[in-house]
Amino acid sequence: MRRTLSTALVTGGAGFIGSHTCVELLEHGFEVIVADDYSNSSPEVFTRTQKVAGRFLGAVYRIDLRDRRALSAVFERHPVDVVVHFAAKKEIGESVRNPVTYYDVNVGGTLALLSAMEEHGVRRLVFSSSCSIYGEAERMPLTEADPARPTNPYAASKWTCEQILADVCRRSEDWSVLSLRYFNPAGAHPSGLLGEAPRGAPGNVMPYMAQVAAGRLEQLEVFGGDYATSDGTGIRDYIHVMDVAEAHRLALEHLADRTGLRVFNLGLGSGTSVLELVAAFRRASGRPIPYRIVPRRPGDVTALVADPTAVARAWGWRATRDVAAMCRDAWRFTRLNPAGYAVGR
Ligand code: WQD
């Protein structure tokens, strides 16, 4: 009899992908416990998460995962069946400037979490990995068999965590781990209540562009116009955050299928250049998006596009929402929340 996973600890549950995943899990009957340090979001997210889902979170803990005592206390208080681990720093440009912080938070936090899981007999984990581990790959689209060649500390921290998880699963047969390599999550919840609202100036292109459209930032700097692409700008595989959230719920439903480490790419399977994204956002917002081409950002690669076949075969699931929907939903969230989650900011 498959044991249903009912209580999920979501680390980073106040973040962009974490909050949308919490809504999806609540809507599907999971008990959801959140641990977040609020370093890149605010507690206002939890009010909105519960409003959108129409259900309460089981508990929210403001903790830094590296605080092993605080983390252990969470496992002592709740019958956690599975952990969904989002908590990490995730901006590539920032990771080049602050590598030690990225390894400390992303790898150190994961190690602390794995220790607490070991200590409390929790052996099921969905890990938030990233397409950036593939680095500057020759051919697209990328499958999970393509080699990891990280070109920046963020990507290297994610690849390091995957290698740690592989070692843990090799050593003990009772661990079941799914590592989901997101391509570029974008968009927002269609209600307009949840979206991407990082603290400070956004490092990622979609929230930055949304702020330009809203007149809160002057213009978009396009990092590099000399890549070997159709229009010289970087190509990425943008995937709607609602699709990413759905995939996490499916991951929990499939974790109990077998033990060991499995890895899946999460992408739409098509590439969009920065200038194509600007055009799509102009159409969605009806706003001009002034931009200027500047030199490449250190750590960036030319293109990253997913081959999403593996997850389609395993779960019978594909991402369905296109770039136009991502721009439309991201614009709605920004228009309704010009100051992000700082209510009244
Ligand atoms: C996208 C494109 C930039 C900002 C992200 C996440 C990472 C991972 C992968 C989940 C690139 C260009 C950007 C700007 C620009 N996702 N750009 N001007 O670097 O692909 O990584 O997706 O794990 O966590 O950070 O995303 O949005 O920063 O860049 O021209 O102001 O937009 O050069 O071509 P990236 P991004």
pLDDT in tens, the chain (345 residues): 344 569 999 999 999 999 999 999 999 999 999 999 998 888 899 999 999 999 999 999 999 999 999 999 999 999 999 999 999 999 998 999 999 999 999 999 999 999 999 999 999 999 999 999 999 998 999 999 999 999 999 999 999 999 999 999 999 999 999 999 999 999 999 999 999 988 888 999 999 999 999 999 999 999 999 999 999 999 999 999 999 999 999 999 999 778 999 999 999 999 999 999 999 999 999 999 999 999 999 889 999 999 999 999 999 999 999 999 999 999 999 999 988 887 544
Contacts of 73 (CB under 8 A, 6+ apart): none
3-state secondary structure of 167: helix
Whether 78 is in the pocket of ligand 1, judged by its Cβ within 6 Å, is no
C-alpha separations of 281 from 23, 186, 191, 245 in Å: 26, 12, 18, 22
Residues in the chain: 345
Whether 209 is in the pocket of ligand 1, judged by its Cβ within 6 Å, is no
Q: Which of 153, 154, 68 is nearest to 111 (CA)?
A: 68
Whether 75 is in the pocket of ligand 1, judged by its Cβ within 6 Å, is no
| ipTM for this model | 0.97
User: Containing H/E element for 324?
Assistant: helix 323-336
For the chain, domain boundaries: 7-336
Residues classed as catalytic: 154
- Contact at 8 Å (CB) between 42 and 221? no
3-state secondary structure of 9: strand
Write the residue with the smallest CA distance to atom 13 of ligand 1.
205
Name the CATH superfamily, with its identifier, for domain 7-336.
Answer: NAD(P)-binding Rossmann-like Domain (3.40.50.720)
